[in-house]
Amino acid sequence: MRIVVIGTGYVGLVSAACFAEMGHHVICVDTNAERIAQLRAGHVPIHEPGLDGMVHNNHQQNRLHFTTELRPSLANVDVCFIAVGTPSCANGAADTQHVFQVAEELGKYLPSSCVVVNKSTVPVGTAERVERCIAEQLALRHAAFAVPVASNPEFLREGCAVEDFMRPDRIIIGSADAQSAQVLQSLYAPFLRKNPRLLMMGRREAELSKYAANAMLATRISFMNEIASLSECLGVDVESVRLGIGSDSRIGYDFLYAGCGYGGSCFPKDVRALIHTSQRHGLSSHILQAVEERNTIQKAGLFIKLKLQLGYLEGRRIALWGLAFKPGTDDIREAPALQLLESLMHAGAHVHAYDPVACANVAEYVPKQWLDSGQLTLNAADPYHVLERAHALVVATEWKPFRQPDWKRIAACMDKHIVIDGRNIYDPLSMQQHGFVHVGVGRGI
């Protein structure tokens, strides 16, 4: 098939590369000329395991193309995916302006009918509105064809998006016509050979499924974080509680890790958008509001724990391991580490942070003077280097090499032997044996 993917963020780029990998002819379109130039030159601008090689090979083999020009890309297209960003507006609603800009252009320039597919996470009813928007433009130029719009939400996790795309848990297709349903079923058939979980439903149901899935996962995390706080007061180890409840097959183990809060570009934004949708319909979203509130409290927890240990923070040297919102990605959007940095900078502490891949993105999210003044230094080369004379180490991302570090070497580097373990990756008893004060999340033992 000839496929056009509009938007080269991690969803668009991963989808495009994986479709090309299956033999399709794919054109990626983005208005960001710098990004397109980078991709053409073989540079993949996001850290996503397996993506570099796949993009490079398919580009070389002429199956994957990059351009800023939408109009010429649309010749003979069979399927056109909209995968542009839908960030949060100030009131929490999803900002769909880019989706509708694309819809308008498709209506203006599509030379013949094709299936248009919303892959962006969008409020319920968006597929219908996109279809109307395209139809209005088609009517203005008296086009003699119609363009159906389907909803096909993605469930890719950053850091394993290629793996998730190639071997999906399930594919959801929301459609209102036979043509889109049939085209999308055949497009996804090769990805579902081992696990034929293809769920066909209405477009509104598909749109809400996406929000509800992320909101459910965020709820599990906030619930466990609340149990973790209680565990600290009751002298209970939340890790045992996690195993105790996860072993119930109705509950399962996934997404029950207490920690320093969820971040990233999806959970915070999608929970907020769902709260906004409920409110717009006159409903109070008690559960989701509590989920969000709990997460805000949880993110503040790292700083509070540090302060309790050190008494004051002005002039203290803090080593920070991990900036990314989770391992396997260079994405720091809404990362707990960012909130901690902000509090530490205001308190006058000096932070020396290590992250294997996310350092390059920090400048975009923090005031320049933090870096210029040296109050914040970044290191992508050596996690031990940032520990020199540190008064405490905070672990905010559970990168694998942090799991079994050389404690003797760490003890020799640090001024005080305090570890704030925001991801519960260390065993409290063995930390005691290594001579460290260990403060985890919910480890009331």
Contact residues toward ligand UGA (CB under 6 A) are: 121, 154-158, 214, 217, 221, 255-257, 259, 262-264, 266-267, 325-326
Cα angle for residues 73, 77, 83 (degrees, 5° grid): 70
Which of 138, 163, 161 is CA-nearest to residue 148?
A: 138
Q: Is 197 annotated as a binding residue?
A: no
Q: Which is nearer to ligand UGA, 155 or 407 (CB)?
A: 155
In the annotation, is 28 catalytic?
Answer: no
Q: Is 210 annotated as a binding residue?
A: yes
CB neighbour list of residue 139: distance below 8 Å, 6 or more residues apart: none
Q: Is 85 annotated as a binding residue?
A: no
Q: Which is nearer to ligand UGA, 154 or 239 (CB)?
A: 154
* CB of residue 201 to ligand UGA, shortest distance in Å: 17
Catalytic residue among 28, 260, 266, 359: 266
* CB of residue 153 to ligand UGA, shortest distance in Å: 8
Helix, strand or coil for residue 247?
Answer: coil
Q: Which is nearer to ligand UGA, 117 or 410 (CB)?
A: 117
Helix (H) or strand (E) holding 3: strand 2-6
What is the rounded CA–CA span in Å between residue 164 and residue 212?
19
* CB of residue 91 to ligand UGA, shortest distance in Å: 20
Q: Is 355 annotated as a binding residue?
A: no
* CB of residue 226 to ligand UGA, shortest distance in Å: 13
Q: Which is nearer to ligand UGA, 137 or 329 (CB)?
A: 329
* CB of residue 233 to ligand UGA, shortest distance in Å: 20
Helix, strand or coil for residue 353?
Answer: strand
Angle in degrees, 0-180, between the axes of helices 51-60 and 33-40, rounded to the nearest 10? 80
Helix (H) or strand (E) holding 433: helix 428-433
> What is the secondary structure of 30-94 as a DSSP string?
-S-HHHHHHHHTT--SS--TTHHHHHHHHHHTTSEEEES-HHHHTTT-SEEEE----PBPTTS-B
Q: Is 157 annotated as a binding residue?
A: yes
Maximum CA extent, the chain: 78
What is the rounded CA–CA span in Å between residue 119 and residue 174?
11
Q: Which is nearer to ligand UGA, 107 or 159 (CB)?
A: 159
Q: Catalytic residues, which ones?
A: 266
Annotated binding-site members for substrate: 155-158, 210, 255-259, 263, 326
Annotated binding-site members: 30, 35, 86, 121, 155-158, 210, 255-259, 263, 269, 326, 333
Annotated binding-site members for NAD(+): 30, 35, 86, 121, 158, 269, 333
